[in-house]
Amino acid sequence: MSLRVSPWRALAPWLISLLVLLVIPMLVSGNGTFSIINLIAINIVFALSYNMLLGQGGMLSFGHAVFFGLGAYGAIHGMNLIGDAGYDGQGFWAHFPVYLLPLVGFATGALAALLVGWPFCRRAGTAFAMITLGLGELVAAGSQMFPTVFGGEAGVFSNRMVGPVWFGLELAQPADVYWFSAFWVLLAVFAMWAFTRTPLGRLSNAVRDNAERLQFIGYPPRNLRFLVFIAAGGFAGLGGGMAAVNYEIVTPESLGLLTSGLALLMAAVGGLGVFYGPIVGAILVTVMNSLLSDYTDASILYVGLVFLAVVMFAPSGLGGGIEQVRQAWRRGDLAAHLPGWLGGALAVVLIALGLVGTIELVYQLSHGRDKLAQVLGLQPDPSSPLVWLGVVALFAAGFGVARASKNYREARS
Amino acid sequence: MLEIIVFSTLNGLLYGLLLFMLSSGLTLIFSMMGVLNFAHASFYMLGAYFAYALGLHVGFWPALLLSPLLVAGLGAVVERFGLRRVHEHGHVAELLFTFGLAYVIDETVHLLWGSIPVSYTAPEYLRAPLFSLFGTDYSIYRGVTMMIAVLMFVALWYLLRKTRVGMMIRAALTHGAMVGHLGHNVPRLFMGVFAFGCALAALAGVIGGPLLSTEPGMAQALGPVVFVVVVVGGMGSLLGAFYASLLIGLVQTFFVALDVSIGDLLNAVGFGVDPYGEVTGITLASIAPMTPFILLVLILIFRPRGLMGELEP
Amino acid sequence: MSHALVIDDLKKSFGPAEVIRGVNLRVEKGEVHAVIGPNGAGKSTFFNLVSGAFAPTSGEVRLHGQRIDGLAPEKIQQRGLARSFQVSNVFGNLSVFENLRCACFKQSAAGYTFWRPAGSVKRANRRAEEVLAMIGLAELRDSPAGALPYASQRALEIGMTIAGEADVVLLDEPTAGMSNTETTQAIELIRQVAEGRTLMIVEHDMGVVFELADRISVLVYGEIIATGTPEAIRNDPRVKEAYLGEEAA
Amino acid sequence: MLKAVFKLFAVSLCLLSGLARAAEAEPVRFALIDPLTGPMSVVGQPALAQLQFTAERLNKEGGMDGHPIEIVGYDNKINPQESLVQLQKAIDDGIRYIIQGNGSSVGSALLSAINKHNQRNPDDRVLYLNYAAIEPSFTNERCSFWHFRFDAHVDMKMNMLTDWIAENPDFKKVFLINQDYSFGHTVSESAMRMLKEKRPDIEIVGNTFHPLGKVKDFSPYISKIKSSGADVVITGNWGQDINLLIKSAAEYGVDVPFLTYYGSTPGTITQVGDKGVDRVYLIAEYHGDFTDPEIAERQVALYKEKGWDYYPRVAAMLEMMKAAGDKAGSIEPLAVAKTLEGLEYDAAAGHLTMRAEDHQLQMPLYLSVLKDNMKHGAEGTDYNFHQIARFDADQATLPTTCRMRRPD
């Protein structure tokens, strides 16, 4: 957006997010909530670094967790070095504070991407997806073999209350770690946003849109993809470094296909085409993964269904939806569009409730107990037709509203 | 030593053929429609579970036919109402759809049939030994599996090479738009191919279920290897997929059978290396599951179009 | 008169099909040289060979005396030869201004920098503004290139080709599919582009060819059958018989 | 903020439906951090069911020091990082007793996290009750005052297995096959060490490792066992790795005893079925004969109500916690921990002692073999493990290298 914005307007998003980060600890208490917020911060950096590849650079990767995991291992080994150096107090590591470990993560991730990336970046598309899938599986399997580096199944653990202390911030409780995560998430998000404004950032968009034309304006696409690959690997490593400090343990799972899948999930649900899309995706998916399983046994099924719904009905993701509303608000015709959109949202809620009802009832039938019902204190009896009628009613209402709002929207445009 | 070689070859062939049955469906879908179907292994699992459920009522052989048909129907519904809708948003959207679909199918199976592996076994008479070699007997069922796999390969090869439908599919591989202009209903062709691919996966499930145990995690455990077979084999090449799956099956089985560590190999070649070090102590057996992915990375770097393919992915 | 572009016995075949069968061509420095010929004569393939999109089967291409045949397109671009595309080949999601600026980065060797904002590359931004004005798309400055009307996209196509300050420019049917008014605007733009540069144009519209070209070469079935001034070509019997036939204006 | 929103939503609906909770003495709550969803829930759900089933019974007998026992499940999807998030959530919910069992990697993460938590929060310390992570180091070099283990560790079980093999003269060749990760290597090293001490004449004809949970077809390993001429196999495999191994062994007619640690994992007996009879041996703290009528009746009740078999070790753990709480007259972790140290308790499986030195439970161990048409079959089948040997607690005990730092 190179349109002439007054400097204040350009700074507004960053000031607001700084304000939000400062206010959160006042509104929230309890280490459990803080540890989820720290996880959200880590996932935001991880999802954004993934979108540097996919959303910005058009490169679909299935091995992004490799750089996240290697960054985490780099940082945890750094933490152990700091701990050991603490005894005699000499050497580089004795003066290296734990807070800067994400930089070690960044360096490890970027270095790994540098070593591996060149043959990968020959082509984007399916070839890139497959070769990163191969890399992901290789490194995940390899991580079981080198105990000194990866610590085998049990992983490598350490203690973050070592090394020099700055600003009196001892990383004891998740509440303290919050400040560490808040600092790094703001810095990383700003850095990744700034990257999109640099010439390399613009050209990475160009390589996404039309790699062939790029050659004819003097740039081999492979070089650009390689540089973007290294930068994305670095920021993934930074996220890994944050995770190492937050959990004080790094296990091979952080390298595996499931973690790469998580990055894809967050970026896609959040919206690939919008810079802040993956941030929205990271928050939603992290909350669903951590909290939902407290309330229902079918939490993984719900994550899958949300993902399917977004891919089918909102291909530009939640971020895309927000962007649509923002554009309409800026154009001033928000009021005209609102009923159509609200109608659509209502339809989604109704159908979702119907679906949740069906799944929980089936759970009641097949597993003989249902957590969600217990938590809500309702005792739906799966055999009584009344309950199923209610579910059918929800579906009917949902589809009705959906059609109505669709007609309304078509009438508008 | 001979015994190990004979058995490894037999086991390698069996595992390879099973891999082929599983990935042959994906060769069609992935190569022809360009759809990176992440849910392919989930349809394989559905095939096993449907065969288990139907088998209780109608017996093994009827289930062998019914289960793939059922899964084909499901595949058609998925393509018609899901994939087709997402198609115009490009390949990434299609991939994301199948990615979410795999989540949903795996969890639904877990929801309906519970988390304990179900005891889906081949009928008793098929488990009797077909022949006995070096005192170890080789069950009829394994022989039947190999036969079905080879039959499947021949049938598929015939269908693709010799029939009109096959010609349409091969044409749509490279020139999808033109096939449409020639008056063929390409969307229905895609639906047919997708359903047929899922049916092939289901058939592999019906056969593979008793061999590899039927449990909710079976799709996730197998997942990515399927892509290796298709890419290493070469896009759109059935023969390539056949060779690739045999290659992977044999390499993996022999790596396991030859219990030799890297240190031993180096020493055999003349290096004086401590065979129990952290790196040199790694045995071929522990590298075995990595071999398909080592193959994948090497093929994509040095021969992107795969063994037999003409197209680069 | 030094030659900007020298092409000796250039050949290209795709498997058995021989598309370019030994082309010899000299393009003078600073001239506007048109290449015309019936459909399927191999004009686009010829352009692809010279610009490096395809590697020739045999033969040589020299740019300012240096051999460029077989080089990668970016190497040829860096040596000062740029080309446009018959089908607009722009960065769909980026704005018009962004498209132009991307084409300008190479000149100030700023493409790979990630430590300063794109706006701070003074030379590239100034050049992009200049070309934006030249191709008359100033008011469409921020709309995505993919959403532009056809003629504007063709103008952007030319803009991106000249943004890189190449001194030899290949234009592939710049006025294809344009209305008369749009064609006259395009001709005016091309005349501006031609100042101080060597131009080679592939074009079907004889009006445009005779309006702009200093010299014309006629490509038929992969061979140049004639080269000369517009007058000479109009009256050349071989050209008439092979290409212009009776309807020559 | 996010948690509060969910809670508000749930609580409001509760009130909406008019179900008010009966006011009782403030309950003592235990958190079970184990895989409760996804493919691995097959090892987490049975423990949750057993804990809730035993808690109901103990609450009828007055609960723990008068407080009703409440079990809360936290799903970690057997992932160490997720376990730490759930641990923090449990501590946040005011829970001071953490139960875990599946995955030595999860155990290792929880052990180090709980040590650090207690060090950093001296006023709300937490106890880690481990019912199945049998990595020996937890009660040796990595022992901690806040960790109690209610299951015999790898070496204790291997000690008994190797004793049984040593007594049997016609065992000449032993084949070891394990999963290629820390647990598998511990089992293999322990077996080799102990066999060399007790029967140097026995030849280890194979020591193979295969990747965890990745092998689809065990026939190559079986043909190796067959060609090695082994007459007994020792394996620590669990889950799919034990199911497929035994199925393959039966298919290829390899009729040697398979001595296992996890032959009774839920799902194994269903999968293995008749193939396991007289082939699968189990070393564990109990057996499937259910000679004690009261336990037999509970097995039937639990299976009917929850669909899972009786889990004796988990039941004994909760019973000992109740005994320790009653004896300490408090539910405060430090007090309970002090009384739990050295506590003696008579459970169904026999006389149990929680050794104070390293917090490792000393218990009798049983070697049993899978048999058909048992009085109480497992997983709704007719198969279960019939006892063939019993080792008293003092036979099964092993010294420890633990030097525990006790809180002030």
The shortest CB-CB distance from D108 to any of A27, A157, A287 is to A157
Q: How far is CA B112 from CA A359, A362, B44, in A?
A: 10, 8, 16
Q: B214 - beta bridge partners?
A: B118
Report pLDDT digits (tens) over B17-70. Answer: 989 998 988 988 877 777 778 899 999 999 999 999 888 888 888 888 999 999
| Residue C127 forms contact with A (CB below 8 Å) | no
Same domain, D46 and D163: no
Residues of chain A found within 8 Å of residue C78, distances taken between Cβ atoms = 218
pLDDT at D15: 47
Provide the mean pLDDT of chain D: 86
- B-interface mutation test, from D176, D189, D241, D271, most B Cβ less than 10 A away: D271
Calculate how close chain B gets to D271, using CA atoms only, in Å. 5
Q: How far is CA D113 from CA A13, A47, A99, D183, D359, in A?
A: 37, 26, 19, 20, 18
**Any contact of B with C, at least 3 CB pairs below 8 A?**
no
Q: Are C240 and C248 in contact (CB under 8 A)?
A: yes
Side chain identity, residue C190: I
- C-interface mutation test, from A4, A209, A216, most C Cβ less than 10 A away: A216
Calculate how close chain A gets to D168, using CA atoms only, in Å. 35
Residues of chain C found within 8 Å of residue A10, distances taken between Cβ atoms = none
Q: C25 - beta bridge partners?
A: C7
Question: Quick one: closest CA in B to D270, which residue?
Answer: B119
Residue A311 to residue B96, Cβ atoms within 8 A: yes
The shortest CB-CB distance from D224 to any of B211, B212, B257 is to B257
Structure tokens at D331: 């539910």
How far apart CA C111 and CA C74 sit, in angstroms, is 13
pLDDT at A378 over 70: no
Residues of chain A found within 8 Å of residue D34, distances taken between Cβ atoms = none
Report pLDDT digits (tens) over A158-187. Answer: 888 888 888 888 888 888 899 999 999 999
Q: Which residues, other chains included, contact A69 with Cβ-Cβ below 8 Å and sequence gap of 6+?
A: A139, A143, A240, A250, A252, A254, A255, A256, A259
ipTM associated with this complex: 0.85
Same domain, D317 and D352: yes
How many CB contacts within 8 angstroms connect chain A with chain D? Answer: 130
User: pLDDT tens digits, chain C, 249 residues: what are they?
Assistant: 578 899 999 999 888 888 888 889 999 898 999 998 887 778 888 889 998 888 899 999 999 888 988 889 989 998 889 999 888 889 999 999 999 999 998 888 888 888 888 888 888 899 999 999 988 888 999 999 989 988 889 889 999 998 888 889 999 988 888 888 888 888 888 888 888 889 999 988 888 888 889 999 988 888 888 888 888 888 888 877 776 554 444
Residue B96 to residue A307, Cβ atoms within 8 A: yes
Structure tokens at D209: 């490792």
Question: Quick one: closest CA in A to C78, which residue?
Answer: A218
What are the extents of the domains in chain A?
23-280, 333-412
pLDDT at D321 over 90: yes
Residue A206 to residue C102, Cβ atoms within 8 A: yes
pLDDT at D178: 92
Structure tokens at C43: 């004009």
Question: Quick one: closest CA in C to A4, which residue?
Answer: C142
Given pLDDT bands bounded at 50, 70 and 90, which one contains residue D129?
very high
Provide the mean pLDDT of chain A: 86
The shortest CB-CB distance from D88 to any of A32, A141, A248 is to A32
Is residue D289 one of the residues assigned to a domain?
no
Residue D216 to residue B256, Cβ atoms within 8 A: no
pLDDT at D2: 55
List residues in chain B touching D: CB distance below 8 A: 3-4, 7-8, 11, 14-15, 106, 110, 115-119, 121, 127, 129, 132, 134-139, 211-213, 215-217, 220-222, 253, 256-257, 259, 283, 285-286, 288-289
Three-state DSSP state, D354: strand
| Residue D37 forms contact with A (CB below 8 Å) | yes
Residues of chain A found within 8 Å of residue D6, distances taken between Cβ atoms = 291, 294-295
The domain boundary, picked from D264, D284, D304, lies at D284
The shortest CB-CB distance from C94 to any of A3, A205, A218 is to A205
The domain boundary, picked from D244, D262, D284, lies at D284
Q: Which residues, other chains included, contact A267 with Cβ-Cβ below 8 Å and sequence gap of 6+?
A: A47, A50, A51, A54, A55, A277, A278, A281
Residue with the bigger pLDDT between A141 and D97: it is D97
pLDDT at D23 over 80: no
pLDDT at D16 over 60: no
3-state secondary structure chain C: CCEEEEEEEEEEEECCEEEEEEEEEEEECCCEEEEECCCCCCHHHHHHHHHCCCCCCEEEEEECCEECCCCCHHHHHHCCEEECCCCCCCCCCCEHHHHHHHHHCCCCCCCCCCCCCHHHCHHHHHHHHHHHHHCCCHHHCCCEHHHCCHHHHHHHHHHHHHHCCCCEEEEECCCCCCCHHHHHHHHHHHHHHHCCCEEEEECCCHHHHHHHCCEEEEEECCEEEEEECHHHHHHCHHHHHHHHHHHCC
Q: What is the CATH number of the domain that holds D119?
A: 3.40.50.2300
Q: D69 - beta bridge partners?
A: D28
Regarding beta strands D361-362 and D69-75, do their DSSP bridges make them parallel or antiparallel, or are they unpaired?
Answer: unpaired
Indicate the range of A5-14, A64-73, A246-255 predicted with least confidence: A5-14
* Counted domains in chain D: 2
Report pLDDT digits (tens) over D246-269. Answer: 888 887 778 899 999 988 888 788
How many CB contacts within 8 angstroms connect chain A with chain C? Answer: 104
Question: Quick one: which H or E segment has residue B133?
Answer: strand B129-133
Q: Is B72 exposed, middle or buried (0-12, 13-18, 19+ CB in 10 A)?
A: buried
Is residue D396 one of the residues assigned to a domain?
no
Same domain, D277 and D301: no
Helix residue spans in A89-220 (DSSP H): 101-120, 125-142, 147-150, 174-197, 199-215
Instruction: Name chain D's partners: 3 or more CB pairs within 8 A.
Output: A, B
The shortest CB-CB distance from D244 to any of B213, B216, B217 is to B213
pLDDT at A373 over 70: no
| Residue C101 forms contact with A (CB below 8 Å) | yes
Report pLDDT digits (tens) over A180-223. Answer: 999 999 999 999 999 999 999 999 999 999 998 999 988 999 99
Return the percentage of chain D with pLDDT > 90, whole number.
37
Given pLDDT bands bounded at 50, 70 and 90, which one contains residue D8?
low
pLDDT at D297: 87
Residues of chain A found within 8 Å of residue D91, distances taken between Cβ atoms = 31-32
Same domain, D144 and D160: no
Helices and strands, counts by H and E, chain B: 15, 2
The shortest CB-CB distance from B221 to any of D213, D223, D379 is to D213
Residue B95 to residue A60, Cβ atoms within 8 A: yes
The shortest CB-CB distance from A36 to any of D38, D85, D307 is to D85
Given pLDDT bands bounded at 50, 70 and 90, which one contains residue B313?
low
Same domain, D160 and D145: no
Calculate how close chain A gets to C182, using CA atoms only, in Å. 24
Q: Is C39 exposed, middle or buried (0-12, 13-18, 19+ CB in 10 A)?
A: exposed
Instruction: Name chain C's partners: 3 or more CB pairs within 8 A.
Output: A
Instruction: Name chain A's partners: 3 or more CB pairs within 8 A.
Output: B, C, D
Helix residue spans in D264-354 (DSSP H): 268-272, 293-306, 312-328, 333-340
**CA angle, residues D403, D406, D408, in degrees to nearest 5:** 150
Widest CA span in chain B = 69
What's the domain range around D237?
155-284
Same domain, D238 and D175: yes
Q: C198 - beta bridge partners?
A: C168
| Span A316-341, average pLDDT | 84
Residue B96 to residue A264, Cβ atoms within 8 A: yes
Same domain, D323 and D275: no
pLDDT at A413: 66
Is residue D212 one of the residues assigned to a domain?
yes
The domain boundary, picked from D228, D255, D284, lies at D284
Three-state DSSP state, D350: strand
| Residue A253 forms contact with B (CB below 8 Å) | no
